[in-house]
Structure 1
Amino acid sequence: MRKLTLSLFALLAGCGVVYHSPNVREGVVDGAKVRIIELTPETLLAANSQAYNPRSLPAAFRASAGTYGSSDGMESLPNPAHSPEYRPGALETRLPPTPPNDPYRIGVGDVVLLATKTPGNTVSELSGLLAAENRRQGYTVQDDGTIAIPDVGRVRIADMTMEEAETTLFQRLVERQIDPTFSLEVAEFNARRVSIGGAVVNPGVAPITLTPLTLDTAMAKVGGVSAADRDSAVIRIYRDGSLYELPVEDFLRTPAYQKLRLIDGDSVFVDTEYDLAKAQAYFEEQIQLSSTRASIRSEAMTALSQEVAIRRQDLAEQRDNFEARIEYGAEKRDYVFLSGEVVKPGRWPLPYEQTASLADALYDSGGVQAVSGNPRQIYILRGSPDPREFGGITAWHLDGTSATGMMLSTRMQLRPDDVVFVAEQPVTKWDRVLDQISPSLITVPLDNATQ
């Protein structure tokens, strides 16, 4: 029986039936020089020294819809003055001079009310002319500084105090032989205002009324300071061509600063910019462009939103097209090849814009076969750029059973067209030989019997 088995083995081997195990061996193989180098921390440097530039993604993957030029009209707006550059050691306090405590003066745009004492008296001659107290009909101060009262005419009261305006109206009523019993009040304060902007909750304007407007009242009208870093925030006041500043922390701690009186024409700006010249430039731009800034910004933002939406769609289409070309193989890409006893043999794509390690490729593909793979025999086959050079093919050998080997696998960089090969276990090789021989041992005697 032994002789029969050996004879059958020799017969099957001669016919090429016996299992041929793939392997890596050093020497001249099929006309190519193969050199096996043990992968160590020292040889790893040589393995990774081969120049390699990973392929880059198209520009559409790096661009965003907002990286293009500004929309038409935006360049007409002043640049923001608050762009922090450095954190100062201390902020200077420069307060404006205390204004005189003058009474309120009526201005263009204010609405005043004239009210009679009682209906039905001698002033009833002005019925429909002067406002009755229950009708609250007002008179707006026109751009020439006057109000127009029927049967009385135009009376100039702009730039007058309430007392001066009452005296002027009294004289005009007497001249028209009308009972001058009346009361005068300002219903709407539109002439004198303070603008407030910058790092506040709701930028806007605060009117000057009969009651003096203080800095804390003005800040309360816009919701207070919204700057995240109040240590470096500063309140700047632009008045009559001069710029003053008050640190927010000092303002919050000092009642005297909170009661700082503001006057008509003041501009208050809460800022974290440390360059005083830039802040002053901001106010100058606001004064010069106050009549057109809002409309220009609105139109520019609408145009910019439309332009960004179009560009975003274009970038998305370019990315989708690139991904489709990758899927159909129309885009050139670098690969390494996994063979031998790995869970998922095949072609593994190298990533864009960065290198990949041996561990990346192995573990992304399921790793080494747990039963049949031999982790001591892991090879990275790399061809020389010129086959005539020494080596031809270099086989970097890695023993993956040691901690050092596992760490080296995370640092061994792969190159395009590398072949990662994992050899089989010796017992697996014999098992596969027997799997092929056993059916043959049965088949051959049967064939001989039929003869």
Structure 2
Amino acid sequence: MKFLAPLICTGFLTACGVAYVTPQVSERSVAGLEVDVVPMTVSSVTAANAAPYTPRPLPAVYSQSISAGSTPTGAGAPPAQPVSEQLRPDSIPTLLPDPQPQRPYLIGVGDIVALSSPQLSSPSVDDDGAAGTQQRYTVQDDGAIAIANVGRVVIAGQTLEAAETELFQRFVENQIDPAFSLEILEFNSQRVNVGGAVNTPSVLPIQFVPLYLDDALTLAGGANASEPQFTTVRLYRDGTLYQVALDEVRTQRVQLQDGDSIFVDAAYDYTRAQAFFEEQIALAEVQRGRRQAALDQLRTELLLRRTQQQEARAVFQEKLELGAVDRDYVYLMGELDEQSRFALPFGQRAVLADAISSTGGIPNETGNASQIYVLRAGEDAASVNAWRLDGRNAANLILATRFELRPDDIVFVSEQPITRWSRFLDQLFPSLLSASVD
């Protein structure tokens, strides 16, 4: 009788719900809350996902590309141009460079290109200010242009077609619609200097169309010489000086190339021409030195910005680990491998399957797959919406990959009936043994 008395008493307490209490989801009004249990179906999932929600964004430091503007370089003061007398020559010998094969235009530093794309509507760091979907970019000292959401793309030294291929590949790698057009707006990288006895001394750009010696003189306003047959046109290229009489220029179709310097000498002064070319060389040296200094400064600036970006990301990660960053959570309760809270990701939405998988899933021995709930506060403070997923049919689990979670949702999994009895017995037997000993 001593053994049966505790058993009868414990059974009575169990029937009264005192010996073992297990959480359940019920539509009964509890604590002033009205619970509405809805089976999870395609239509009910669609209705639940209609609840407005904007995921918290990552800090801007995670989406910014590292780029820096080009530092302009000056040419410095040109050297003085010497002047001396020169007697009229009997004839002007013709000395011209060997004909060069025509080559396609290669994009270079300083060129300004226009990129038109429906997905590039925001200006880049080194953008020249154009509005709309056409963006202007200056090819910087490292040969690259900086494109938002793509990064730095090196196009210097490439033809327009090769640059388009490179941009197409980078757009595809960054999942951007590769429908775009590329054109060169300003040709600044390849130039020819024209000076001496011309009406308008000029620096002429080389473009897609080949530039010839007679065309360059025309663009410089023509030669300012009363005796063309005694006027010398001198061409300085790669350390070699060439020349031809002015009245023979049109018959000698000399194609110009980047770095050529032309001097029209109406006074038969070779020394003046030589001084002009030395001036161009000195000018090029000054520009080269300042360009290198600008490139070094650009690299230093990029390194500094990259370091600042890495430090900002590290600070954010430390705050995140310490819980000092506002996060949205979903709470996981009931028969799961681990009861915890699931942090909703930044910048995207999470679904029920993400939350359940984060804990290791539902244990087959204890979890009731037919009673998986998502509890969410209703529109008023006295209502609770409960969506019930019946996972006994594995096909229904596809709904878990579609059901979007919202902040403060509660994912609850009921226990198996046999689990409830097993736990009851685990509590009961120690009491029986203790009673029998007494």
TM-score range (shorter-chain normalised) is: 0.5 to 0.7
Which residue pairs with 1:306 in the alignment?
Answer: 300
Change (3 A) 1:418 1:200: closer
Unmatched segments (≥5 aa) in structure 1: 78-141, 147-153, 163-185, 202-224, 244-260, 269-288
CA contact (8 A) 2:66 2:306 kept: yes
Match in the other structure for 1:371: 365
| 1:210-249 correspondence runs (5 A) | 227=159, 229=161, 236-239=209-212, 240-241=215-216
Aligned twin of 2:432: 441
- Note closer, same or farther for the CA distance 1:299–1:232 as it changes in structure 2 (3 Å cut): closer
Secondary structure of the 2:387 match is strand
What's the CA shift for 1:62?
1.1
CA 1:231/1:423 → structure 2, altered by over 3 Å: closer, same or farther? closer
Question: Superposed, which structure 2 residues align to 1:2-41 within 5 Å?
Answer: 4=5, 6-10=7-11, 13=14, 18-41=19-42
Q: Which amino acid aligns with 1:354?
A: Q
Distance of aligned partners of 1:14 and 1:358 in 2 relative to their CA distance in 1, 3 Å threshold: closer
Corresponding residue for 2:398?
407
2:335 to 338, 341, 345: 341
In structure 2, how many angstroms separate the alpha carbons of the residues matched to 1:27 and 1:343?
Answer: 28
Superposition deviation, residue 406 in structure 1: 1.1
Which of the numbers 366, 391, 395 marks the counterpart of 2:386?
395
Aligned position for 1:161: 93
Judged with a 3 Å threshold, the aligned counterparts in structure 2 of structure 1 residues 230 and 321 are, in CA distance, closer, same or farther, namely: closer
Q: For 2:399, what is the secondary structure of its paired residue?
A: helix
**Percent same amino acid among aligned pairs?**
34
- Deviation at residue 61 of structure 1 after TM alignment: 1.0
* CA distance in 2 between partners of 1:11 and 1:232 (Å): 82
* Structure 1 CA distance for aligned equivalents of residues 431 and 331 of structure 2: 34
1:190 Cα shift? 9.6
Paired residue for 2:60? 59
- 1:37-74 deviations in Å (ceiling 9; x for gaps): 111111111111111111011111111221x5x14327
Partner Cα separation in structure 1 for residue 418 and residue 88 of structure 2: 114
Alignment of 1:22-421 (within 5 A): 22-66=23-67, 70-73=69-72, 160-161=92-93, 198-199=105-106, 227=159, 229=161, 236-239=209-212, 240-241=215-216, 263=254, 265-266=256-257, 294-388=288-382, 392-421=383-412
8 Å contact 1:61–1:319 — kept in the other structure?
yes
Count the aligned residue pairs. Answer: 286
Q: Is the 8 A contact 1:194 1:266 kept in 2?
A: no
Distance 1:345 1:431 in 2: 20
Q: Tell me the distance in 2 between the aligned counterparts of 1:144 and 1:195.
A: 37
| TM-score, reference length from structure 2 | 0.55
Alpha carbons of structure 1 residues 198 and 297: separation in structure 2 relative to 1, 3 Å: farther
Partner-residue secondary structure (3-state), 2:29: strand
Secondary structure in 2 aligned to 1:361? helix
CA deviation profile, 1:82-107 (whole Å, cap 9, x unmatched): xxxxxxxxxxxxxxxxxxxxxxxxxx
Q: 2:321 is matched by which residue type in structure 1?
A: E
Quote the Cα distance in structure 2 between the aligned partners of 1:191 and 1:159: 22
Output the CA distance in 1 between the equivalents of 2:290 and 2:12: 94
Aligned counterparts of 1:143 and 1:293: Cα–Cα separation in 2: 22
Larger radius of gyration: 1
Contact 1:341 1:422 in 2 (8 A): yes
Distance 1:386 1:357 in 2: 24
Amino acid at match of 1:436: Q
Taking the aligned partners of 1:402 and 1:28, their CA distance within structure 2 comes to 30
Distance in 2 between the 1:435 and 1:190 partners? 102
- Whether contact under 8 Å (1:194, 1:263) holds in the other structure is no
Aligned partners of 2:374 and 2:411 also within 8 Å: yes
Change (3 A) 1:230 1:412: closer
Mapped to 1, the partners of 2:317 and 2:385 lie a distance apart of 34
What corresponds to 1:422 in structure 2?
Answer: 413
Cα 1:309–1:226, aligned 2, differ >3 Å: closer, same or farther?
closer
- CA drift of 1:294 comes to 3.8
Q: CA RMSD in A?
A: 4.4
TM-score (norm 1): 0.54
Q: CA deviation at 1:196?
A: 7.4
Is 1:341–1:424's contact at 8 Å kept on the other side of the alignment? yes
How far did residue 18 of structure 1 move?
1.7
Shift of 1:443: 1.0
- How many Å apart are 1:306 and its aligned residue? 1.1
Give the 3 Å change call, closer, same or farther, for CA 446–12 of structure 1 in structure 2: farther
